[in-house]
Amino acid sequence: MKNFKKLVLSLAIACSMGAVSTTVMAEADAGRITYAPGKAIDLTLEKIQAAITAAEASDAPAVTELTKEAIDMSKEINANDRVDVARSRANLHLKKARSAGKVDDIKGAKEHLEMALKGFQDLKGML
């Protein structure tokens, strides 16, 4: 009986911890879409490629807008610390490309977009 009481008490504590744990209750918001890291990288690469295409067409406002979308999509990449550091480094090139697009420096924007494209492609190998 003594061991049975210990077992019941242990199960009660474990169940109560699981019931109020933030990890157990963690989920995406109702209106928010979550992506797997690989899918988020692919979507970011698509946005960067579209921005490079816009840069080749010398469309500075489109470069700025598409680069902003790529920056926003890159925030969805969430795998581990090593990937996050590399994502931050590649994200710096996106921010520089956006700044260059704002001042109509298409050549500079395209160079930074190509470096960002390479940086985000390298993320796939880290998953």
Q: Report the domain count for the chain.
A: 1
Q: Is residue 71 part of a domain?
A: yes
* Residue 88 maps to a domain: yes
Q: What is the CA radius of gyration of the chain?
A: 22
Instruction: Report CA dihedral (95, 98, 104, 110) to the nearest 10 degrees.
Output: 80
User: Is residue 116 domain-resident?
Assistant: yes
Which residue segment(s) compose the domain that 91 sits in? 59-127
pTM score = 0.73
First to last CA, the chain: 50
Distance CA 90, CA 8 (A): 52
Structural domain contains residue 29: no
Q: Is the pLDDT of residue 25 over 60?
A: no
For residue 4, is it within any domain?
no
Indicate if the pLDDT at residue 26 is higher than 60. no
The answer as to whether 100 is a domain residue is: yes
Average pLDDT over the chain reads: 86
Nearest CA to 74 out of 107, 55, 108, 97 is that of 97
Q: What percent of the chain has pLDDT over 90?
A: 52
Is residue 46 in a domain? no
